[in-house]
Structure 1
Amino acid sequence: MTAEQPDLTVRDTAEFEDHRRPLQRALKFGGWALVALTIISLMAWGATRDLPGIYGVLMGVGIGGGFVLATALTVLATSNSSPTATMAVVLGGWLVKMVVLVLLLLWLKGFDFYDGTAFGVTTIAALVVALAAETWGVITSRTAYVG
């Protein structure tokens, strides 16, 4: 009585050999997490602070989530270039985002159409949620590290 040998032939490895896969999953998970946060925040802040709360949420998710997702997009866009080029583009992108963020916050300071608390809380929540979702997307992706 002999046991039959299982078939251990590897047939499809293309999805595990793509070095861009963790970044793509990070963007997908981050995007969906921001959609969920937006819906929950709109319900909460819209109910408590009306239209100014809704404006604060939309701006907070746009700024906080956009900041994090833009970094992942930059890394993904330069994933086929040299590490030096990727680092230069990411650093340049961070500097541009910081300047734009400071100018935008200074400009928004003079307006009162949005709720500042909703804006601040949602911006921080968007940063945390997007980073956590992107991290989860990267660490749970199955990728071959040795070719």
Structure 2
Amino acid sequence: MRSAVKWGVIGLVVLTIVGSLLGWLIGGKEGLYGALLGAAVGGGFILFTALGVLLTSKLPALTAGAVLLGTWLLKMILAIVVLAILKPLDFYDKTSLVLVMVFALVIVLGAETYGVLGTKTPYVDPTPSAPVNDEE
């Protein structure tokens, strides 16, 4: 998971730079603010999950699942609250926010998937093999 988090952060940083530059060129200061907010909300949403998995990896499966479910619920509530607070404000471009937020979700998920798939994991067969009988 460390590799997944690393690639997710790298993807998010690149997206933040490119999105902020494009947002500023197209929408001015409002576009820049929208892009920065979109990267923070979208990237933070996904990276929070990866960090949660990383931090609960040593816990029993039931405990880790409960913690991840609880953090998922907390993320959903925080995302709704943040977007509700931002909705009436007009210092940012809403189009930039949505586009960068969606790209952040896609890019960070893709980068994390790449990080997980590139990790070598030992494979163990849970069923014992048949004993070898040399006395035949």
- TM value normalised by structure 1: 0.82
Give how far 1:145 is off: 2.5
Aligned residues: 125
Task: Indicate whether 1:25 and 2:3 are aligned.
Answer: yes
Give how far 1:25 is off: 0.3
Q: Distance in 2 between matches of 1:133 and 1:119?
A: 21
* Identity fraction in percent: 42
1:39 to 17, 21, 25: 17
Structure 2 residue runs without a partner (length 5+):
126-136
Give how far 1:143 is off: 2.3
Task: Indicate whether 1:58 and 2:14 are aligned.
Answer: no
Q: Distance in 2 between matches of 1:145 and 1:53?
A: 48
Q: Distance in 2 between matches of 1:145 and 1:64?
A: 33
**C-alpha RMSD over aligned residues:** 1.1
**1:36-92: CA deviation from partner (whole Å, max 9, x where unpaired):** 111111111110101111111111010000000000100110100001111101100
- Tell me the residue number matched to 2:132: none
- TM value normalised by structure 2: 0.89
Could you list the structure 1 runs, at least 4 aligned residues long, displaced by more than 6 angstroms after superposition. Answer: none
1:134 to 94, 108, 112: 112
